[in-house]
Amino acid sequence: MATPLAHRPAPERRRGRTRERLRVLGFLSPWLIGFTVFFGYPLLATVYFSFMHYNQIQAPTFVGLRNWAYVLGRMPLFGPALWNTLWLVVVMVALRVVFGLGIGLLVTKVKTGAGFFRTAFYLPYLAPPVAATVAFVFLLNPGTGPVNEALGALGIPAPNWFNDPAWAKPSLVLLSLWGIGDLMVIFMAALLDVPKEQYEAAELDGAGALARFRYVTWPSITPIVTFAVVTGVVQTMQYYTQALVAGKLASGVSVGPGTVIQPGYPDGSTLTVPQLVYSLGFQNFDTGAACALSLVLFAIAMAVTSLLMRGRAGLLSAED
Amino acid sequence: MTPTTATGPAGHRARSALRWIAVHTTAVAAALFFVLPFVFVLLTSVMSDEQAMSGELWPHEWHWSNYAEVFRTPGFLTWWRNSLLYAGLGTLFTVCSSVPVAYALARFRFRGRRPAMMLVIATMMLPPQVIVIPMYLVWAQQLHLSGSLWPLIVPMAFGDAYAVFLLRQFLLTIPREYLESAKVDGCGELRTLVRIVVPMAKPGIAAVALFQFFFCWNDYFGPQIYAAQNPGAWTLSYGLESFKSAHSVDWNLTMAATLLVMAPVVLVFFFAQKAFVEGVTLTGVKG
């Protein structure tokens, strides 16, 4: 900020600076309070609880590293949950980026009915995750679902989707590809930003479609691809609702929410780390282990994202 | 477009017609993937109870009364009201609290501006599961407010990292001269914000409001943590799953309920399409 007060006498300048500071604090105060109360405090408390034994009834007692040793060493479900989460991160993010880019490219090439196609591709993204999951569990239901009925009519052997441990995660990937709308819009905007002259120049040089993509399109959209990968990884590390709801509904347990069931149906194949945190903390009331596990999740998320962002500091940086 | 030397104008026309066909065939195939699930869900929602179990695609009779039956289900209207409360108040609170923060981060040059921005981004990356247990314990044990909507709505009054980030990116595009001239005219910062910045930032604010509305409407984790014990505090997104469990064989009613949960989001989108797409692009492109 310019300093129009510079020529004034010192005490007044100091008063001006204090007022300026108070003003900044005033504007920032909602976030400062929110950050302290809803981020800083719980994060510190999570670290504190990770060294405690606490069942939410008796007072917490200090147990040192026992929760950490349990989570990292002896907890039977940690390995599978971590494997599922990383599987989903790799496969889901990769396929989403490729498919989203493909749909984005397609939409920029469509000449007739562009408005219809854009809306059609975009709408599923808006479907609430629970509603979309319920719909897909129905659509892919092996016994009563229309998809297997249609596949059967075509003579294609139909998988058991959410009811088969080998197909449950791919089914979740399919569900997430259906909701690709946000990525499509981002890629579309980036693709339309590529300077037309560069395509024309490349074409004059005799570059085919593939070469044009490789040497013109790709270099100018790589920042957006990186953005999509990083945000995709952050989101997928938190993957929770769809996996939980799909597992519960496909298992056919006709009980309301809040009932303790083994998560990850079928056969633990859809159990993710965030689900395991929930089930440790709110079903087993093992607060200490849940907190330790949630910090492991946080550490992995931070490690993966900072690795991805290395050398691309400008991507999400605080610069203007 | 410049024709290449190898083919004449006729060859070029034929090639571009072929390309048109290829592009539009692919687009139609893709559209089927995105649209058919909606169609199947809609068709099933009006089937009779027996037919909905059969896997058949086309309804023999159209039972539109299924929708009335969904609304008669105990609790459904309460969940509807709770969702509106959560999404409505949540959106209002988020916008009111995030705008001044974003303004300060975009406009004032103060020490700690950069770290503050980094912290905002860091909060966006934190999995909600990491902080939820201590927060739950405070709401449940100290404030005795679990089983209500309060723990979901109150935090919205203290700024949302995503909203702050998006709004700041938007406010940076407002030329400084406008703000400086307002200052010369004797406008205080608060007045500048309300009278000049907010009207100019309407598209950004609209995008944030929409995102927040959708976030609250779609939220499952929050209601699961805080409202689970009390069905009177369930939201639509949360109640839908229990609706399916209670009607374990009634796929038709479940699909009708599913569409009813989706409906407000789709409706809002059609009325505010432009602001929404702009918001998505803004967060994606202007990093």
Same-domain pairing of B272 and B165: yes
Q: CB–CB of A31 and B255 under 8 A?
A: no
Tokens of B96: 């009111």
* Residues B201-212, mean pLDDT to the nearest whole number: 89
What is the DSSP track for B118-165?
HHHHHHHHS-HHHHHHHHHHIIIIIS--TTSSHHHHGGGGG--HHHHH
pLDDT bin (cut points 50, 70, 90) of residue A2 is: very low
Per-residue pLDDT, A11: 67
ipTM for the predicted complex comes to 0.89
How many Cβ contacts (< 8 angstroms) between chains A and B?
285
Shared domain for B177 and B203, answered yes or no, is yes
Identify the domain containing residue B101 by its residue range.
75-283
Strands A52-53 and A61-62: antiparallel
> For an interface test with B, which of A19, A20, A31, A205 has the most B Cβ atoms less than 10 Å from its Cβ?
A31
User: Is there a single domain that holds both residue B55 and residue B94?
Assistant: no
Q: B41 at the A interface (CB within 8 A)?
A: yes
Interface contact A106-B224, CB threshold 8 A: no
Q: Tell whether the model's pLDDT for residue A315 goes beyond 50.
A: no
B250: Cβ–Cβ under 8 A, 6 or more apart, which residues? Answer: B49, B52
* B101 shares its domain with B239: yes
Half-sphere exposure of B269 (CA within 13 A, CB side): 20
Residue B151 shares a structural domain with residue B52: no
Q: In this predicted structure, what is the pLDDT of residue A12?
A: 67
The answer to the question of residue B200 being in a domain is: yes
Residue from A241, A274, A277, A247 nearest A261 by CA: A247
Looking at the complex, report in whole angstroms how far the Cα of residue B221 sits from the nearest Cα belonging to chain A: 7
pLDDT at A188 over 70: yes
pLDDT score at A173: 98
Global pTM reads: 0.89
Q: Can you identify the CATH homologous superfamily of domain A90-271?
A: MetI-like (1.10.3720.10)
Q: Which of A99-108, A164-173, A250-259 is predicted with the least confidence, judged by mean pLDDT?
A: A250-259
Reply yes or no on whether the pLDDT at B3 is more than 60: no
User: Looking at beta carbons, which residues of chain A come within 8 Å of B133?
Assistant: 42, 45-46, 49, 281, 287, 290-291, 294
- Region B251-270: mean pLDDT is 91
Residue A117 has pLDDT above 50, yes or no: yes
Q: Do the beta carbons of residue B276 and residue B203 sit within 8 Å? A: no
Residues A41, B123: contact at Cβ < 8 Å?
Answer: no
Q: How confident is the model at residue A196 (pLDDT cuts 50, 70, 90)?
A: confident
Contacts of B163 in chain A (CB under 8 A): none
Closest residue, chain A, to B56 (C-alpha): A146
Q: Would you put residue A257 in left (φ > 0), alpha (ψ -120 to 50) or beta? A: beta
Residues B117 and B49 in one domain: no
- Both B248 and B148 in a single domain? yes
CATH code for position B205: 1.10.3720.10
* Distances, alpha carbon B88 to alpha carbons A78, A111, B161, B228, B230, in Å: 38, 39, 18, 21, 21
- The domain spans of chain A are 35-74+274-312, 90-271
Does residue B277 surpass a pLDDT of 80? no
Cα A161 vs. chain centroid, distance in angstroms? 22
**Same-domain status, B31 and B111:** no
Q: What is the pLDDT of residues B22-72, one digit of tens each?
A: 999 999 999 999 999 999 999 999 998 888 887 788 888 888 999 999 999
Same domain, B39 and B133: no
pLDDT > 70 fraction of chain B, expressed in percent and rounded: 95
Contact B280 A182 (CB under 8 A): yes
Q: Which amino acid is at B86?
A: Y
Is residue A203 very low, low, confident or very high in pLDDT (cuts 50, 70, 90)? Answer: confident
**Structure tokens given for A174:** 């399919």
In the structure, what pLDDT confidence band is assigned to residue A255 with cuts at 50, 70 and 90?
low
Mean pLDDT confidence for A158-178: 96
Q: Which residues pair with A61 in a beta bridge?
A: A53
Whether residues B122 and B141 fall in one domain? yes
Rg (CA), chain B: 25
Identify the helix (H) or strand (E) that includes residue B261: helix B251-271
pLDDT over 80 at A260, yes or no:
no
**pLDDT band, very low/low/confident/very high, at B245 (cuts 50, 70, 90):** confident
Single-letter code of the amino acid located at B185: D
- Same domain, residue pair B184 and B276: yes
Per the structure, the count of domains in chain B is: 2
Tell me what the pLDDT averaged over chain A comes to: 88
Question: Does B37 contact A45 at a Cβ distance shorter than 8 Å?
Answer: no
